[in-house]
Structure 1
Amino acid sequence: MNTSHKPSRLAGALAAGCLAFATLSAVAQNLPALPPVQQQGQVEFLTGGFGADESNAIKAASSQYPLALTFSSTQGGAYVANVKVRITDARGNTVLDTTGGPYVLVKLPAGRYKVSATFNGKEQTRQLSVPRSGTARAGFTWNT
């Protein structure tokens, strides 16, 4: 009897069951879905957060991402989107180049990064260290 396919079928069935359970649990609790996870090269990220439900969901998920960015305005602390985000590694290689906000969560390996964020033609940069565990957080605020 050939049993070589049983482990992969079992793993697939378990994964599908877990996903279905998580989805049903979220629906039953009226939890908002996170924005879709995107991928650029080796980097996974998500962006969004307008509206209280999505904003709360992203905040809750931020601890699962090594880098969390937040974009806002000095005008009443309003959040802003359409922020051009460019992240480069210690060697100057671009690891993420996207537009988003008001929140951007990024899965990056531990290390030093330069984050450039541009809103309405005004660029800000930060040098950040992404830890091996935990989350590095940075907020960018523009005078609008």
Structure 2
Amino acid sequence: MNKRFERSTLAAMMAVGGLALAGVLSTAQAALPPIKHQGSVQYVSGGIGIDESESMKAAAKDYPLALTFAAQRDGKADYVASVAVTIHDSQGKEVLKAMAEGPYMLVKLPAGSYKISATYNGRAQDRQVTVQNTGTTRAVFEWK
């Protein structure tokens, strides 16, 4: 084979690979559930199905707070939805009250300390978290 043919073949393969990657990324973004607002707080919840789950995981880097919800069933942890979530700031002011529509909830909050209450099947759990200016703070709620 001549060098010119090899270079053009390699360039074509790279272009096809780039298009495939762009298609995967746009599919992941398209699978992200709708972003919601409550006051000044922006959040998204979901993660049901592989596409939506992968989209939520990929989007977590853009949110200062990531919540995960699971429950023990037959000796293993299963993801759950329909979790009532309430977040209060350090002064006790409610900043978010929403229903998680899947096992993941991503929340944009300013840096600070927060109390998160999550209720699933009538059983509540609380977590204290500190949200930083950079990175993602993660909190996991698991019911037994």
TM-score normalised to structure 1 length? 0.78
Determine if the alignment matches structure 1 residue 138 to structure 2 residue 142.
no
TM-score normalised to structure 2 length? 0.78
Q: Which residue identity lines up with residue 86 of structure 2 in the other structure?
A: R
1:85-124 → structure 2 map (5 Å cutoff): 85-100=85-100, 101-124=102-125
* Alpha-carbon spacing, 1:68–1:28, altered in 2? closer, same or farther (3 Å): closer
The structural deviation recorded for 1:74 is 1.5
1:39 is matched with 37
Q: Which residue identity lines up with residue 126 of structure 2 in the other structure?
A: T
Q: Distance in 1 between matches of 2:25 and 2:119?
A: 39
Q: Which runs of 5+ in 2 are unaligned?
A: 1-21
Aligned match of 1:66 in 48, 52, 64?
Answer: 64
- For the residue of structure 2 that corresponds to 1:77, the secondary structure is strand
Identity %: 51
The structural deviation recorded for 1:33 is 2.0
* Alpha-carbon spacing, 1:132–1:53, altered in 2? closer, same or farther (3 Å): same
Q: Which residue identity lines up with residue 73 of structure 1 in the other structure?
A: A
Q: Which residue identity lines up with residue 71 of structure 1 in the other structure?
A: F
- For the residue of structure 2 that corresponds to 1:57, the secondary structure is helix
Q: Distance in 2 between matches of 1:35 and 1:79?
A: 17
1:15-30 → structure 2 map (5 Å cutoff): 25-26=22-23, 30=27
* Alpha-carbon spacing, 1:28–1:105, altered in 2? closer, same or farther (3 Å): closer
Q: How many residues align?
A: 119
Q: Distance in 1 between matches of 2:59 and 2:66?
A: 10
Q: Distance in 1 between matches of 2:99 and 2:31?
A: 20
- For the residue of structure 2 that corresponds to 1:78, the secondary structure is strand
Q: Distance in 1 between matches of 2:125 and 2:64?
A: 20
Two-structure CA RMSD over aligned residues (Å): 1.5
1:41-60 → structure 2 map (5 Å cutoff): 41-60=39-58
Pair member with larger Rg:
2
Determine if the alignment matches structure 1 residue 125 to structure 2 residue 126.
yes
